[in-house]
Structure 1
Amino acid sequence: MTQLSEADARPIAVVTGAGGGVGREVVRDLARDHTVIAIARSDAALAELAGIDSVVPTRLDVLDAAAIDSVGAALSAEHGRVDVLVHAAAVGSGESLEQTDAEVWNRVLGTNVVAPALLTRVLLAPLRAAGADVVFINSGAGKRALPRHPAYTSSKHALTGFANTLRLAEPALRVVSIFPGQIDTPMLRGLHADFGFDYRSEEYIRPASVAAAIRWVVDAGPDVQITNVDLRPRHEVSAQFGV
């Protein structure tokens, strides 16, 4: 992890899944006025993030609980406060119930629920110090069931529950869940390919639009707590597995 200059007085943001379609746009937007700790695991993503001003690329496999503790402890030691934490890391799953074995359950729940909970836990002290915004990028699947996605749906429902619990348990924090519909990302493209569906990117939400919603949350006045934000495609799509 790169040590930041003590002279850097910009607020600190931590973004997981920074190499993904949504995470990258969130990093770019927040870097306009924050120092962003951009968490990713691939060399290509880290190299790209390194080219963005005010971004500190940080390697982390979110399925490695010990690594989460290590990175979180290092961040807590280096910065007295974390002003924004955005949980953008996520994986999809197109397996039917019969195909959803222990490996799938562990990977999806580990990435989508356990990792955000563990990282939030290890960063609690600097988050409390800042009265931080903690943003969970959830899904339409966090509100309704999707029969083709038992593991993914379960993970997003669990994430909703964790966010709601965190809000009650930590009143110093502003906790928001973003519930987007289908976003034009490689993950969605892959799910379409798995099911043999046509992919029409113009029908889906742009990652930059999700980043703009997070910007609205972060810039909200101190008198307001935004708890849940629904983002739907302008023209609702009818894909059988849509979220």
Structure 2
Amino acid sequence: MNTAQELLEITDHLKELAVTNRQVVVVTGATGGIGRAIVEDLAHDYAIVAQGRDKPRLAQLANLGQQIYPVQCDLTDTGALAETFGLLPKVDALINAAAIAPRYAFDDATAEIWSDVMHLNVTVPSELTRILLPQLRASTGTIVYLGSGASRTTSPHNVVYAASKHALQALADGVRMRTEADRIRVATVAPGHVDTPMIEWDDNYPLVLPETLIQPATVARTIRHVIEAPEDTQITEVWVRPRAEA
């Protein structure tokens, strides 16, 4: 949990967003492979609220553009999310990229593992969406949930992560239906195996990867396409697959 002084510094830092002439995009997991690529792609055109836990990596992000606003916080502390994000003066897009992806077969996964994965991968984006809903309604904004090839399939050795991404897909569909009258656009962007540290699993399960992995910048370009879709449409699902399947 952030201290009172840290929260004050974050709040003062974000006050500048009230006067920016750019659209404001919130990116969670901004210090990860895909999250950083999203910030890099959008930094020249948008004001970015970049959430992460790693202070040195967040400091590096600040060098990517003039209107990048790093926010160091632990998303799993859902009780503090409203304190940190609820006071944002405006939000035009929310990109839920933060996730964890440990590999477990169901009979190796404990209740604690299930709880940790489902909490960060499903509960946190749901709660953050709920907190930022007033700002997104005001801007008729866009919400992006970063899904996965595991959003519709599974394997015996990756069932916990796959279950969380199945649930995230259901969340996205439910949010879209719930906010249709507000004209908020809701999308799932679901890439296959991406070349990030997330897939460097240290376990004893067999691993088969495609010959060529998807690059994080490719996913970022897809997300830009979603949030910049013309006003007369919404892109609800994008499945980003490698050129050759594993």
TM beyond 0.5: yes
Aligned to 1:57: 70
| Paired residue type of 2:30 | A
Question: How many residues are matched?
Answer: 231
Cα 1:42–1:56, aligned 2, differ >3 Å: closer, same or farther? same
Give 1:137's match in structure 2, choosing from 142, 146, 168: 146
Which digits, 9 at most, give the CA deviation of each residue in 1:93-140, with x for residues without a partner? Answer: 212212211221111001100000000000000001111110011001
For residue 199 of structure 1, report the CA deviation from its aligned partner. Answer: 8.7
TM-score, normalising length: structure 2: 0.89
- Please tell me whether residue 25 in structure 1 is matched to residue 37 in structure 2: yes
Counterpart Cα distance in 2 of 1:233 and 1:44: 32
- Please tell me whether residue 39 in structure 1 is matched to residue 51 in structure 2: yes
Give 1:128's match in structure 2, choosing from 137, 145, 154: 137
- Preserved contact between residue 157 and residue 205 of structure 2 (Cα < 8 Å): no
Give 1:176's match in structure 2, choosing from 184, 187, 192: 187
| Paired residue type of 1:65 | T
| Paired residue type of 1:149 | N
Which digits, 9 at most, give the CA deviation of each residue in 1:67-110, with x for residues without a partner? Answer: 212112222xxx1x311100000100212212211221111001
Aligned to 1:240: none
- Preserved contact between residue 210 and residue 244 of structure 2 (Cα < 8 Å): no
Provide the secondary structure at the position in 2 that maps to 1:51: helix
Q: Which runs of 5+ in 2 are unaligned?
A: 1-9
Give 2:216's match in structure 1, choosing from 169, 190, 207: 207
Counterpart Cα distance in 2 of 1:121 and 1:133: 13
Counterpart Cα distance in 2 of 1:122 and 1:198: 38
| Paired residue type of 2:76 | L
Q: Which runs of 5+ in 1 are unaligned?
A: 238-243
For residue 229 of structure 1, report the CA deviation from its aligned partner. Answer: 0.3
Aligned to 1:83: 92
For residue 196 of structure 1, report the CA deviation from its aligned partner. Answer: 6.8
Aligned to 1:14: 26
What is the percentage of aligned positions where both structures have the same residue? 38
Give 2:120's match in structure 1, choosing from 107, 111, 123: 111
Aligned pairs for 1:146-225 (under 5 A) are 146-171=155-180, 172-189=183-200, 191=201, 193-195=202-204, 203-225=212-234
Counterpart Cα distance in 2 of 1:170 and 1:31: 27
Give 2:87's match in structure 1, choosing from 74, 98, 108: 74
Counterpart Cα distance in 2 of 1:220 and 1:229: 13
Counterpart Cα distance in 1 of 2:119 and 2:142: 23
TM-score, normalising length: structure 1: 0.90
For residue 197 of structure 1, report the CA deviation from its aligned partner. Answer: 6.1
Cα 1:150–1:196, aligned 2, differ >3 Å: closer, same or farther? closer
Which digits, 9 at most, give the CA deviation of each residue in 1:192-229, with x for residues without a partner? Answer: x4247679796110000000001111111000111000
- Preserved contact between residue 184 and residue 201 of structure 1 (Cα < 8 Å): no
Provide the secondary structure at the position in 2 that maps to 1:166: helix
Cα 1:199–1:117, aligned 2, differ >3 Å: closer, same or farther? same
Counterpart Cα distance in 1 of 2:100 and 2:221: 22
Aligned pairs for 1:219-234 (under 5 A) are 219-234=228-243
